[in-house]
Amino acid sequence: MIRACQTLLLICISMLIAGPALAQDPIIFPAKGQSQDQIERDKFTCYQWAKNETGFDPMKAPPPYAPPPQSRAGHGDTFKGAAIGAGAGAIFKRKGSRSKGALTGALIGGVLGGIRESHERRKQKRNRQQYEQQRANAYAAKRNTYNRAYTACLEGKGYTVK
């Protein structure tokens, strides 16, 4: 649990650092000698137009992170495996002793259950990371589409945009 929280925190910090670098506003040059007031009006007009065309508003913060639903599969498998193994070992005995059979079965079942539980945790972590990456990619794609629309609008009004 602590490792998952640390991983999530690291991802969030990296997104905060990388996000502004990836989503920088374009640089606008008034190629036709537009005044500062005209530049501001055109920027606002193009902001509204690009927002309406793309459905993306760069002034709004991205929606809060909602983790994907997690299954409870694999939770407590170590103990379940040990209990099942102990029961099976007691039934089948080991060299005539139910307690030795139960102990051996519990040990084997616990190890196998622990392996399964560890596998499920890794699988959930991988799924969570994929989900977070998909969200980041979707946001970046929407931002890119908005930037293209915004740039097209400004270029149509006589600006050089890079």
Higher pLDDT, 78 or 130: 130
H/E element holding 28? strand 28-29
Say if residue 99's pLDDT is above 90: no
pLDDT computed for residue 150 by the predictor: 97
Say if residue 142's pLDDT is above 60: yes
Mean pLDDT of 64-71: 65
pTM: 0.58
Q: How far apart are CA 145 and CA 92, in angstroms?
A: 66
Say if residue 103's pLDDT is above 60: yes
pLDDT in tens, 2-61: 666 555 555 555 555 444 445 578 899 999 999 999 999 999 999 999 999 999 999 998
Q: How far apart are CA 66 and CA 133, in angstroms?
A: 13
- DSSP per-residue string spanning 74-96: TTTHHHHHHHHHHHHHHHH-BTT
pLDDT computed for residue 17 by the predictor: 45
Tokens of 14: 């990296």
